[in-house]
């Protein structure tokens, strides 16, 4: 990943896109959101440039409230603190079951600060120093180490909840989440989000190990998810295999690296600058900004509502298209772009030759529906 | 026994005097809310004083076997005093002790550095009163300030545990200044060793009490859940079983931990007294302990 430093020309181009605003730094959440919709050029370009999407969306009239609720954050922090209290006593018992952790492996190291200093640079240096040391005396659980990952030419600092290290030298990323695992089942969406977030940490940790000349395989692709069991606050742990997420993430990260080709498709005047005044209030006409955004194609899917600040803008834009109904619908109606078009084909409109097959299917579906409902279409 | 009660009464009298001063100051300062708070504290202190006096009287009269231990106490006092207490939470005069003394009581039972939450839980389980953990953070700062102004003026200080690597204050752990340095430095195995030691201490304390209160049994259950082999077949936690299981695991770690702590303590002896108690300020970028801000720090590091 270290080689993914963009050239000077590209950096100028990205700076121009961003305009006068300071770049937004990535964190584990935004990096995992990148992998959620890999086909979206708009998001790829804006994220690579570090555009403040929330402000841009608000300026063109599609403000989206983003971020975790305060209550969710408090609950998450409380559960994490509970799992980690007293030298992560609760977690050790779980890991002894799940990883067959030996009784002798109980070492606990705190990376929340270095000798009382919590600056990111110092913590990262300390983390690197400890993780790449030839021997790891008595260290099994590393609390909040600070990793970093190069995304679009800038370093994003990442803070996994815990890294477990076994005597045989493999690292396991541990993610503590506060959503409940009820009867062995959890919300699949949340598990997927946790998996991709863990994958981001695995990627960053592998980079760190590789940089130090180590073997990236020392970082296991099996991560550990710790969450409350049933309706209690007792933790339970499950193993997550994040190989697939790692693949998606790698593709996405390399796409950011190849953002140059994407950028070259657009005119050199394209910018998402808000033209802020001295107080930082945007002065750029909203219509002009909207037109600039419109130049870059988006790939809207309903899932965007959970991950992207521009979601309402793109949804509005995608109104009437089959994609707005979700990826399965778009795939089922392959080749038909608009909902209205699909409806008229279903009513018996004569299709274009390349749409003949799907038109026949639509017609049949409409007839079946009419039979069932007992009404004419 | 009588002497213990008498001591409590004296503590209460001092407390009542302090509260009277506080009420006067608040009223003169025009701070009604504070005055009201101090007044209610004063009222409850006076009530506790009456109770304690009645209890002392009852003890001198009869029942030489009556014990003034924190748990047995409820059975001693009769009549009105007992009724008035029944209406309140199981708090006893301990709750009126200054915070530092409550923390000291709990830490003295555990005999290992502990986090505020554990200290509060232990105090609730064995001394019948709890306190908000948020107050503990400022307590350590006050103790440090007091020590720096007048070193060794108090018989003990609530101080920090030191991380073995940088001898900086270990995040969120409190200790007592009179403990040996070997106990107050925290190596990588120390959190587990201290946890197991605390489990043993709690189990032993429960074994000493004829009828352990529910809060103490709950505490033991929680310790048992995190020690391999401590939960008995029925799912309950037996003090003797917890003690044995914790001892068994302790033998695995004890030697390595003691060695690391000895080395670190030796280094810490080279520090000045205040640093030995409250940690070095080598890298410190903030005062005191600073509860970790678990916030996402990704935004903090600017691009390079």
For residue A14, CA distances in Å to A44, A192, A261, A272, B86 come to 11, 31, 12, 10, 71
pLDDT band at B70 (very low <50, low <70, confident <90, very high): very low
Domain, as residue range, for A95? 70-245
Q: Are residues A160 and A89 in the same domain?
A: yes
More confident residue, B192 or A375: B192
pLDDT for residue B120 is more than 60: yes
Tell me what pLDDT residue B304 has.
30
Find the helix or strand (DSSP H, E) in which A211 lies. Answer: helix A188-211
Q: Do B253 and A115 touch (CB under 8 A)?
A: no
Whether B176 contacts chain A with CB within 8 A: no
pLDDT for residue B187 is more than 60: yes
Tell me what pLDDT residue A255 has.
73
Q: Do A110 and B166 touch (CB under 8 A)?
A: no
Tell me what pLDDT residue B17 has.
85
pLDDT for residue A19 is more than 90: no
Q: Which of these three, A245, A267, A290, is where a domain ends? A: A245
Q: Do A87 and B192 touch (CB under 8 A)?
A: yes
Measured on CA atoms in the order A224, A124, A126, B118, is the torsion positive or negative? negative
pLDDT for residue B115 is more than 60: yes
Most confident of A329-333, B82-86, B268-272: B268-272
Q: Are residues A160 and A297 in the same domain?
A: no
CB neighbour burial string for B163-196, b if at least 16 within 10 angstroms, e if fewer: bbbbbbbbbbbbbbbebebbbbbbbbbbbbbbbb
Tell me what pLDDT residue A244 has.
92
Tell me what pLDDT residue B302 has.
32
Q: Are residues A216 and A263 in the same domain?
A: no
pLDDT 10s digits, A109-146 = 889 888 878 888 889 999 998 888 876 666 789 999 99
Of A27-41, A68-82, A209-223, B117-131, the one with minimum mean pLDDT is A27-41
Find the closest chain A residue to B115 by CA distance: A86
Q: Are residues A183 and A220 in the same domain?
A: yes
More confident residue, B217 or B62: B217
Average pLDDT, chain B: 79
Average pLDDT, chain A: 85
Whether B278 contacts chain A with CB within 8 A: no
Q: Are residues A167 and A89 in the same domain?
A: yes
Q: Which of these three, A190, A213, A245, is where a domain ends? A: A245
Tell me what pLDDT residue A207 has.
92
Nearest by CB to B301, which of A87, A109, A121? A121
Q: Are A257 and A6 in contact (CB under 8 A)?
A: yes
pLDDT band at A376 (very low <50, low <70, confident <90, very high): low
Q: Which of these three, A319, A343, A361, is where a domain ends? A: A319
Q: Do B281 and A139 touch (CB under 8 A)?
A: no
Whether A68 contacts chain B with CB within 8 A: no
Nearest by CB to A154, which of B169, B284, B303? B303
- In angstroms, the separation between the Cα of residue B23 and the nearest Cα of chain A is 36
pLDDT 10s digits, B87-100 = 334 444 446 788 99
Q: Do B166 and A115 touch (CB under 8 A)?
A: yes
Put residue B127 in one of left, alpha, beta given phi > 0 → left and psi -120 to 50 → alpha. alpha
Contacts of B118 in chain A (CB under 8 A): 85-86
Q: How far apart are CA A128 and CA A148, in angstroms?
A: 10
Tell me what pLDDT residue A219 has.
92
Q: Are residues A138 and A213 in the same domain?
A: yes
Tell me what pLDDT residue A38 has.
72
Across the range A22-26, mean pLDDT stands at 80
More confident residue, B252 or A2: B252
Q: Are residues A84 and A179 in the same domain?
A: yes
Q: Are residues A169 and A200 in the same domain?
A: yes
Count of domains observed in chain A = 3
Q: Are residues A209 and A150 in the same domain?
A: yes
Of A117-126, A255-264, A302-311, B19-28, the one with minimum mean pLDDT is A255-264
Under DSSP, the state recorded for A355 is G
Candidates B130, B114, B223, B127; CA nearest to B174 is B114
pLDDT band at B268 (very low <50, low <70, confident <90, very high): very high
Where in chain B are the domains? 2-92, 99-278
In a domain, A1, yes or no: no
Contacts of A92 in chain B (CB under 8 A): 192, 226
Q: Are residues A32 and A81 in the same domain?
A: no
pLDDT 10s digits, A56-99 = 998 988 887 766 778 888 999 999 999 999 889 999 999 988 87
Q: Are residues A122 and A177 in the same domain?
A: yes
Q: Are B237 and B227 in contact (CB under 8 A)?
A: no
pLDDT for residue B111 is more than 90: yes
Q: Are residues A100 and A226 in the same domain?
A: yes
Find the closest chain A residue to B254 by CA distance: A104
pLDDT 10s digits, A178-218 = 999 999 899 888 898 899 899 999 999 999 999 988 889 98
In a domain, A129, yes or no: yes
Of A263-267, A308-312, A323-327, A373-377, the one with minimum mean pLDDT is A373-377
């Amino acid at each position: 990943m270290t080689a993914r430093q963009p050239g000077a020309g590209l950096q100028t181009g990205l700076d121009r896109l961003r305009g006068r605003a300071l770049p937004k730094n990535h964190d584990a959440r935004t990096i995992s959101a990148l992998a959620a919709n890999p086909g979206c050029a708009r998001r790829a370009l804006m994220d690579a440039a570090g555009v403040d999407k929330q402000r841009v969306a608000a300026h063109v009239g599609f403000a989206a409230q983003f971020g975790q609720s305060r209550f969710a954050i408090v609950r998450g922090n409380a559960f994490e603190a509970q799992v980690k209290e007293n030298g992560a006593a609760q977690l050790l018992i779980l890991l002894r079951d799940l990883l067959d952790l030996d009784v002798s492996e109980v070492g606990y190291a705190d990376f929340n600060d270095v000798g009382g200093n919590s600056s990111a640079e110092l913590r990262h240096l300390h983390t690197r120093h400890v993780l790449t040391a030839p021997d790891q005396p008595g260290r099994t659980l590393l609390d909040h180490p600070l990793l970093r990952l190069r995304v679009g030419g800038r370093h994003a600092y990442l803070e996994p909840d815990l890294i477990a290290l076994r005597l045989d030298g493999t690292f396991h990323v541990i993610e503590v989440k506060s959503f409940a695992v009820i009867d062995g089942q959890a919300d699949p969406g949340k598990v997927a989000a946790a998996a991709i977030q863990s994958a981001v940490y695995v990627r960053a940790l592998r980079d760190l190990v590789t940089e130090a000349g180590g073997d990236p395989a020392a970082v296991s692709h099996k991560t550990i998810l710790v969450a409350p069991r049933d309706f209690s606050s007792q933790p339970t742990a499950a193993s997550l295999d994040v190989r697939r997420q790692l693949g998606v993430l790698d593709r996405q990260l390399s796409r950011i690296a190849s953002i140059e080709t994407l950028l070259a498709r657009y005119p050199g005047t394209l910018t998402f600058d808000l033209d802020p005044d001295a107080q930082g209030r945007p002065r750029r006409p909203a219509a002009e900004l909207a037109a600039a955004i419109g130049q870059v194609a988006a790939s809207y899917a309903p899932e965007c509502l959970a991950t992207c600040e521009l979601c309402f803008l793109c949804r509005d834009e995608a109104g009437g298209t089959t994609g707005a109904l979700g990826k399965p619908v778009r795939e089922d109606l392959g080749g038909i772009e608009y909902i209205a078009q699909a409806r008229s084909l279903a009513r018996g409109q004569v299709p274009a030759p390349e749409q003949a097959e799907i038109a026949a299917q639509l017609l049949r579906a409409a007839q079946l529906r009419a039979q069932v409902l007992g009404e004419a279409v | 026994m009588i002497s213990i009660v008498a001591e409590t009464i004296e503590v209460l009298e001092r407390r009542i005097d302090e509260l009277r001063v506080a009420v006067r100051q608040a009223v003169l300062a025009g701070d009604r809310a504070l005055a009201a708070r101090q007044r209610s504290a004063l009222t409850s202190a006076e009530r506790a004083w009456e109770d304690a006096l009645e209890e002392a009287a009852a003890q001198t009269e009869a029942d030489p076997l009556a014990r003034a231990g924190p748990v047995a106490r409820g059975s001693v006092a009769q009549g009105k005093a007992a009724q008035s207490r029944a209406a309140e939470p199981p708090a006893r005069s301990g709750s009126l002790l200054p915070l530092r003394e409550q923390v000291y009581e709990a830490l003295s039972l555990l005999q290992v550095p502990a986090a505020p939450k554990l200290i509060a839980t232990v105090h609730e389980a064995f001394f019948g009163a709890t306190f908000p953990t948020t107050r503990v953070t400022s307590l350590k700062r006050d103790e440090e300030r007091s020590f720096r102004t007048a070193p060794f003026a108090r018989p003990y200080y609530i101080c920090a545990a030191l991380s073995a690597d940088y001898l900086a204050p270990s995040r969120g752990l409190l200790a007592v200044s009179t403990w040996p340095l070997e106990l107050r430095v925290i190596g990588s195995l120390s959190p587990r060793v201290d946890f197991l030691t605390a489990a043993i201490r709690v189990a032993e304390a429960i074994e000493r009490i004829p009828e352990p209160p529910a809060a103490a049994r709950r505490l033991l259950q929680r310790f048992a859940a995190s020690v391999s082999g401590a939960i008995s077949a029925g799912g309950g936690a037996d003090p003797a079983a917890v003690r044995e299981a914790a001892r068994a695991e302790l033998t695995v770690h004890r030697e390595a931990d003691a060695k690391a702590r000895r080395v670190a303590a030796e280094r810490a002896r080279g520090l000045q007294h205040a640093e030995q108690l409250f940690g070095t300020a080598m890298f410190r970028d903030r005062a005191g302990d600073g509860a970790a801000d678990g916030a996402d720090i990704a935004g903090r590091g600017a691009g390079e």
